[in-house]
Amino acid sequence: MIKDVLVNLSLNAKKDAAVAYAIALARAFDAHVAGVAFAYEPIIGATVMGGIPNSLIEAQRAESERAAEAVKAKFDEAVRREGLSAESHVFTASVAGAADQFGWMARRFDLSVVQQAEQETVPAEALIAEAALFQSGRPVIVVPYIHTGELKLDRVMVC
């Protein structure tokens, strides 16, 4: 029986299909749903001359935090409208660190829901899906980024 669901709140997706899917699952199974957004640390590449100004690094960090808080607020509003038992969190981590953290968190939930990474986005989504699959030891649903419509459980692929 599914009692609690963990969903990754994507910062980069045009449409976060995983959130809608996780909410529909929680509604169908009367489960608790937890949304997790990651504010990514800036990736600082090597420079030929000089360093990168601290103000630029802080601006990137602030933008990532704003984006994470925005998707968290959107998730909070969606679960409030549905009247679901829910919680949401924002964590700051590197891209690889976020994947590891999500994989560890997924161990504590009955099911994880992640969105398939879009080809044009940062690889964070792909790493998070991979960590959920290989580090959690729990069931994972990877929702295609092109998914639309309601929850349908008439066709299931197990692999």
Contact between residue 4 and residue 112 where contact means Cβ atoms under 8 Å apart:
no
Give the pLDDT band of residue 48 (cuts 50, 70, 90): low
Ranges 17-31, 71-85, 110-124: which has the least confidence: 110-124
- Helix H, strand E, coil C: the string for 18-61 is HHHHHHHHHHHHCCEEEEEEEEECCCCCCCCCCCCCHHHHHHHH
Q: Where are the domains of the chain?
A: 1-85+131-159
Q: What is the mean pLDDT of residues 128-137?
A: 91
pLDDT of residue 15: 74
Model pLDDT, residue 117: 83
Would you state the pLDDT for residue 13? 66
